[in-house]
Amino acid sequence: MVTESIESSPAALAPEALLAAMVAEMERSASHMRIPGSPRPYHITYSLRRAELVELSAAWGAMTRRRHAHRNRVFAQVRVGSPRFDNVMDGGLGDEDEELESFDWIDAPDELSAEALQMALWKLTQLRFDEAQEAYLDHKKARVSEYLRDAVDSFSKRRCAQHSDLVDPRALEPGRWTEVVRRLSRRFFEQPKVYDPSVNLRVERTVRIMCNTDAARVITEDVYVEANVTAWVLSPDGVYVESDRSLYRRRVEDVPSEEELTAALDAVLAELEELEHAVSPGSYLGPALLYGQPVACLFHEALGHRLEGERLVARGETRTFAARVGDLILPRGLDVFDDPTMRCPQTGAPYFGSFTVDDEGVPAERVTLVRDGVLEGFLQSRAPIPSSKTSNGHARHDGVRFPMARMGNLVIAPSEEVPPATQEALRAQLFSLTRAAGRREALVVERVRQGETQTSSYDFQAFKSEPSAVYLVDVETGRRRRVRDVELIGTPLSALQRIVSFGGPTGRDDGWCWAESGSVPVSGFAPMMLFSEIELQQRSTTGFHEPLLPAPVFEDGSHGRSAGLMARGRRKRRS
């Protein structure tokens, strides 16, 4: 339940007392939930997520959104049968969680007494048990009527973690951030060419309490901070072009200062001035140099999602790399690993994608995916895959949908044995490749806003991202032209085989990633990378005219303002 107010949430029991209540109800369900002649529960997971959320948005000196919300949600997974064969088919990727009746019973009481929490879990568990019985029979039917290639066990048994964070009992204080957001938004009165601007701050603190029948006893507290400034400009050919700057943090004390938000706003305004007169090439196919942040996004979409374990056993997936272990899939000298335990060496704060214990109770681990260009392994939950039955602590979900293997902190890095190229050398190589291709201008992508990919066998394999800082560079004069209104597109195997060189400074890409188990925070780290060929396509399909009337605040005849004609942009995140 969401309480939209500035008041503190009702007092709740200490996390340890809530965990004890959950364990008691879990043990009762595991011991006594039976239907004669039907499979019995062999594994139960319970979790409670207590989230406190502050959302602040402002435009034109007024708060457009001011919310201080408290939400409690429960999760239950009931597996019936045995680890060798149970109710979960295709690694759970085909489950339509939101269509299940149990989905209507995930909200926990605002007042979390032990009795109220146990009643919520009791109701949800009964529904999950009934649904598990039906799914078990569907799984048996599929095994009889279909050939299930790469058939593996359903679940790996193991003893899980016992971990407890120190939970901060203090409520968030949105009042101290509200005036900063409001004050900065007044700056847009000075910008008659800017459309639909906003200054946004989102702070979420979530306490996760989890237990399962494999002895997991987990209490964690995580803070996610996002600050964003965004605005639009209308180009002469009728395209609304967006500029934004986002800052991601993991501690309340690291909420961006007014000085940092001012710098972000200044960068947006300067970029809009440039984007208004940027060129729109329509399409491009040729050599390109990508900075680290775009490379991290590209690898997340083209490689990372295809290394998630459940995709190797689900019938609806193409299993791009399932048979490629031991093969060279990237250039020699490149390593790829995912390490959720990473922290910032300067501050000690976790990265946006960091976590300590996954959502199946397994401690997070660093896992090597590619070593020296050769595929070594996959991200794994407790769902076995043909090459491995062991989880490496990467099961993740949004607290609502069922967990699956997901990325945390995906790192692309040069191997220690291979010295990376310098930024200057990469630029020289780019110019050389461009001349050899008979082109006058080379492509440089410095930043992308978001990306997405398709991994199912139903459709073609492809990925795309939305570049937000793209330039065409004259290889003879070095002159740069800003490019707008394009999308970077490609197919995974083809794109990865066109890597020529890499090096320079490491870039970072933070945000939220959406997949079958919901939206989870992620980070990516990568060097600059030179590609022999990258394809861009035009993004917009519709042109818009100026509003017929100027905005009321510019009634003196200044440049017209948006009257709701523009196509709204999507908030960043991938997938």
pLDDT tens-digit readout, 57-104? 999 999 999 999 999 999 999 999 999 999 999 888 877 778 899 999
For residues 237 and 442, the model is more confident at 442
Instruction: Assess whether 206 and 289 both reside in one domain.
Output: no
Residue 552 placed within a domain: no
Tens-place pLDDT, residues 247-289: 999 999 999 999 999 999 999 999 999 999 998 888 999 999 9
Give CA–CA dist 572/82, Å, rounded. 41
Strands 441-454 and 283-290: parallel
Instruction: Assess whether 202 and 312 both reside in one domain.
Output: no
Give CA–CA dist 179/63, Å, rounded. 9
Instruction: Assess whether 301 and 201 both reside in one domain.
Output: no
> Is 0.85 topped by the overall pTM?
yes
pLDDT, the chain, mean: 91
Residue 63: phi and psi, rounded to 5, are -75, 120
Please report where in the chains the tokens 């990258």 appear, as a residue.
534
Give the least confident one: 9-23, 166-180, 474-488, 490-504: 9-23
For Cα atoms 279, 280, 285, give the angle at the middle one, nearest 5 degrees: 115
What is the model's pLDDT at position 559?
47
Tens-place pLDDT, residues 441-499: 999 999 999 999 988 877 778 899 999 999 999 999 999 999 999 999 999 999 999 99
Instruction: Assess whether 201 and 287 both reside in one domain.
Output: no
Q: How many helices (H) and strands (E) does the chain have?
A: 7, 20
Residue 272 placed within a domain: no
What is the model's pLDDT at position 540?
83
Q: Which domain holds residue 30?
A: 15-173+193-220
Instruction: Assess whether 148 and 287 both reside in one domain.
Output: no
Give CA–CA dist 434/532, Å, rounded. 9
What is the model's pLDDT at position 2?
43
Residue 361: phi and psi, rounded to 5, are 85, 15
Residue 6 placed within a domain: no
What is the model's pLDDT at position 571?
37
Q: Is 5 exposed, middle or buried (0-12, 13-18, 19+ CB in 10 A)?
A: exposed
Instruction: Assess whether 214 and 332 both reside in one domain.
Output: no
With both helix axes pointing from N to C terminus, report the angle between 114-145 and 15-32 in degrees, rounded to the nearest 10: 40
Percent of the chain surpassing pLDDT 70 = 94
Q: Quick one: pLDDT band at residue 574, thresholds 50, 70, 90?
A: very low
Average pLDDT of span 540-563: 69
Instruction: Assess whether 365 and 493 both reside in one domain.
Output: yes
Please report where in the chains the tokens 């407890």 appear, as a residue.
164
Residue 269 placed within a domain: no
Query: Measured between alpha carbons, how far apart are the two ends of the chain, in Å?
Result: 27
Give the least confident one: 62-66, 501-505, 561-565: 561-565
DSSP assignment of 78-123 equals EEEEETTEES--GGGTT--GGGSGGGGG-BPPSS--HHHHHHHHHH
Residue 449 placed within a domain: yes
Instruction: Assess whether 71 and 163 both reside in one domain.
Output: yes
Instruction: Assess whether 204 and 339 both reside in one domain.
Output: no
Residue 186 placed within a domain: no
Residue 91 placed within a domain: yes
Residue 526 placed within a domain: yes
pLDDT over 70 at 7, yes or no: no
Instruction: Assess whether 295 and 210 both reside in one domain.
Output: no
Average pLDDT of span 178-189: 96
**Strand (E) or helix (H) holding 418:** none
Q: Which CA distances in Å does 440 have to 148, 425, 477, 484, 564?
A: 53, 19, 10, 19, 40
Number of structural domains in the chain? 2
For residue 158, give the nearest of 508, 482, 402, 393 by alpha carbon. Answer: 393
Instruction: Assess whether 528 and 439 both reside in one domain.
Output: yes
Instruction: Assess whether 163 and 291 both reside in one domain.
Output: no
Average pLDDT of span 138-158: 84
What is the model's pLDDT at position 332?
94
